[in-house]
Copies of this chain bind each other. A is one copy, B any other.
Amino acid sequence: MVKYSPKSIDLQQRLQVFMDAEIHPNEATRAAQLAAAEDRFAPLPLVEELKAKAKAAGLWNLFIPESHAGYSDHGGLSNLDYYALAETMGRVLWAAEVFNCSAPDTGNMEVLMNFATPAQQKQWLEPLLAGEIRSSYAMTEPQVASSDATNIELSLRRDGDEWVIDGRKWFITGAMNTRCKIFIVMGKSDPDNPDRHKQQTQILVPRDAPGVEVVRALTTLGYDDAPLGHAELRFDGVRVPAENVLAGPGRGFEIAQSRLGPGRMHHCMRLVGAAQRALEITCARVQTRSTFGRRLAQHQSVREDIARSFSEIEMARLLVQRTCARMDEVGAQAARDLIAASKTSVPPMVQAILDRCMQMHGAAGLSGDFFLAEAFNYARWCRQADGPEQVHWMALGKQLIERYAGDAG
């Protein structure tokens, strides 16, 4: 039903070759390097080697959309064309970085493409596009429910040619990484503005600016997600030049909105790949074990769980593909109903599929010996990242009631 462009099909084939040759055979090595690392948040040698190979193979910055074709060698891809690539990458949780396609850098690069000055782009976007540095997007705060972005309290105060930054952030993905050099920070610059969507500003803050403190690494379900990591940050009288503001004061909310569509979908794309792989390895697993005189594969309830997972994966994949196609047609804003549907449906479905697959693996399924448990954590995390389901349901429900019944008040 889905039609990919010849360019995407060519990339899909080459990506598959790369995955088979370079990624899958190295999963154990990567795990061993991380386990043995002195600093869990330092880059891993294997991944650096693979990045070089991927770049050489023309499998680099695949996320770049057609609208920013100039930033890529491949000329940009539609969301749908990218879908197939991202699903494949999603089969290995750390693979996206090899192709410079990992969050939060992809979203940050898009922000810089859209809103940064040429000088800012030279300083930060170019090394990001080259995979030489990493970046963070500093939105969530510990003391408020940040899914309502207007709650953000970090203070941005203009002082002459500078902005002074005071406040806290947490769950800032990537900020633990030793190669993370730049934060895009969302703060409140104009708390008295009667339009509460104009009170916020986004600003570039170098990670090594005086007053920036990386307080600690946070975990999700026991995982530190190294070497990426989720950090708690403190900004204590940090000063940056006025030109570090992105787009202009008061446009923080607008930038936040623009960033979220593709970012949410990238997670969904990869989650489908993770679920698909989980299904496949579970089919293999249940063939090798027996209980009560028959292979697990022969138990009716095992077959049901596998059949159900297949059906759900198909539906998740189709929903994500359709959302991508729709974004390509009408843009993210007009496709926000489907984006919300994907964002709220895919992560919990994949979580449930992984839960079943773990169960069919026995205790091993919960361990680090299979990728299931870590993928489960990723799916669970995605139910919070970019806002909990509840917030998106609220907006989507309101939109639908308006569509079918007029103003929902």
Complex CA distance for A306 and B144, rounded to whole angstroms: 20
With A151-B291, A307-B392: A400-B279 Cβ-Cβ less than 8 Å: yes
Q: Does A290 contact B (CB under 8 A)?
A: yes
User: Does more than half of chain A's interface fall in helix, strand or loop, or is it mixed?
Assistant: helix
B-facing mask of A380-406, CB < 8 A → 1, else 0? 110111001111111011101101111
The interface on chain A, measured as residues whose beta carbon lies within 8 A of the other chain's beta carbons, has a size of 99
With A221-B223, A373-B222: A341-B314 Cβ-Cβ less than 8 Å: yes
Interface residues of A in 307-331 (CB under 8 A from B): 307-308, 310-312, 314-316, 318-319, 321-322, 325-326
- Does A367 count as interface, using CB distance less than 8 angstroms? yes
Question: A80 CB to closest chain B CB, in angstroms?
Answer: 8
A29 at the interface (CB under 8 A from B): no
A368 at the interface (CB under 8 A from B): yes
A394: B residues at CB distance < 8 A:
292, 300, 303-304, 307
Contacts A2-B1, A148-B292; A222 near B297 (Cβ below 8 A): no
- Copy tally for this chain in the complex stands at 4
Cβ of A13 within 8 Å of any chain B Cβ, yes or no, is: no
Docked pose: A279 CA to B409 CA in angstroms = 18
Q: Is A244 an interface residue (CB 8 A)?
A: no
A321 to B321, CA, bound (A): 13
Q: Report the minimum CB–CB distance from A220 to chain B (whole Å).
A: 4
Is the CB of A180 closer than 8 A to any CB of chain B?
no
Question: A221-B221, A222-B223 provided; 13 other pairs, C-beta below 8 A?
Answer: A170-B363, A219-B368, A222-B374, A299-B300, A303-B396, A304-B393, A307-B340, A310-B400, A311-B319, A314-B319, A362-B384, A362-B388, A363-B385
* A residues adjacent to B (C-beta < 8 A): 1-2, 80, 140, 142, 144-148, 151, 170-171, 218-224, 279-280, 283-284, 286-287, 289-292, 295-308, 310-312, 314-316, 318-319, 321-322, 325-326, 337-338, 340-341, 344-345, 355, 359, 362-369, 373-374, 376-377, 380-381, 383-385, 388-394, 396-398, 400-401, 403-406, 408-409
